[in-house]
Structure 1
Amino acid sequence: DNALAESTIGLFKTEAIRDDSPFRTGPLKQLEDVEWVTAEWVDWYNARRLHSTLGDVPPEEFEAAYYADLETPSHPVLAPA
C-alpha cells in the first residue's frame, strides 16, 4: 500500500541520497550516478540489510534457512525393517 511505499522511499532518501551516504563516492551529478547509487542500495536492501521483521537477519540468509527448514522432516523417518 501507499504507507509501505512512502516508508521505503524515506529509507532510500535517508540511506542512499544524503551526502554522507555509504553508497555514494561523490556528488550525484548525472543520471548515471543516481542509477548506480539506486542499484547498489536496492541490492543491499533486498539481500544484505538486517530486517527486524525477519529476526534481524539479512533476507538471503532468512530465505536459505526457510527453505532448508522445509526440506527437513518434522519427525524422524523410520527405516523399513
Structure 2
Amino acid sequence: MTYIPTKEGTLYLSVFLDIYSRKIVGWAMGRHMRDQLVTDAFKQAYQRECPKEGLIVHTDQGSQYTGSRFQELLRQKKCQSSMSRKGNPYDNALMESFYKTLKRELINDAHFTTIEQAQLEIFKYIETYYNPKRLHSALGYQSPLEFERRNH
C-alpha cells in the first residue's frame, strides 16, 4: 500500500500487479489503511483476470496482508500467499517500483486539493496511461497491454 497526500487528508492506494506483464490488474483507494482496501483490490484483480488455481500472490508483511481476512480470501480462491522474510523485500520489489514510478510521474508534482481529484487522476494514470501506453524496458519497450496481446 502507499499513501497520497491531499489538502483534504491522506488517500491510500492498494494495487496488485501481474509480474509477467507488469499490468496493474486490481487496485482500490480509500481514506483508511485497512485490510478492506487490500481485499477490494484483490477481488477486482481476481474478477478481471480469472486466474487458475494456485496463483501465487506476492505481498509484503503488512498486517493488511497477513491478517485473517485477506489470508482467508486467498484460501477461498485457492491462491498461495508469498512473503519474503523481514528485511528481504524481494517478493514485493516490483510493487514498490510501481509505487515509486507513480509518485515520480504523477503524485510528487500534483499537489492534489481534494481526495476526489487524487482518485480521478490515479484512475486515469493506471487505466489510460500505465497499462495501455507506458513503455517498460523489461517488456522490450512495450506497454503492459501490448506485451500481453503479443505474448498470449
> Scaled by the length of structure 1, what TM-score is found?
0.63
Question: Is 1:5 matched with 2:95?
Answer: yes
| Structure 1 residues 3-31: Cα deviation after superposition (integer angstroms, max 9, x where no partner) | 22221111111011122xxxx6xx41111
The structure-2 alpha-carbon separation of the partners of 1:49 and 1:36, relative to structure 1 and needing over 3 Å to count, comes to: same
1:41 CA drift (Å): 1.3
Q: Report the Cα distance in structure 2 between the residues aligned to 1:8 and 1:55, rounded to whole angstroms.
A: 17
RMSD: 1.7
Q: What is the alpha-carbon distance in structure 1 between the residues aligned to residue 142 and residue 118 of structure 2?
A: 27
* 1:1-81 aligned within 5 A: 1-19=91-109, 27-43=111-127, 44-67=129-152
Which structure would you say has the larger RCO, counting Cα contacts within 8 Å and 6 or more residues apart?
A: 2
Separation of aligned partners in 2, 1:57 and 1:48: 8
* Structure 1 Cα separation of the partners of residues 98 and 150 of structure 2: 25
* Structure 1 segments unaligned to the other structure (5+ residues): 68-81
Measured in 2, the distance between the counterparts of 1:61 and 1:4 equals 19
Identity, in percent, stands at 38
Gaps (5+ residues) in structure 2?
Answer: 1-90
Q: Which has the higher strand share?
A: 2
- Report Cα offsets for 1:41-70 as digits up to 9, x if no partner: 112112211011111012222222224xxx
Higher helix fraction (1 or 2) = 1
Q: How many residues end up aligned between the 2 structures?
A: 61
* Bigger Cα Rg: 1
Question: What's the TM-score once normalised by structure 2's chain length?
Answer: 0.36
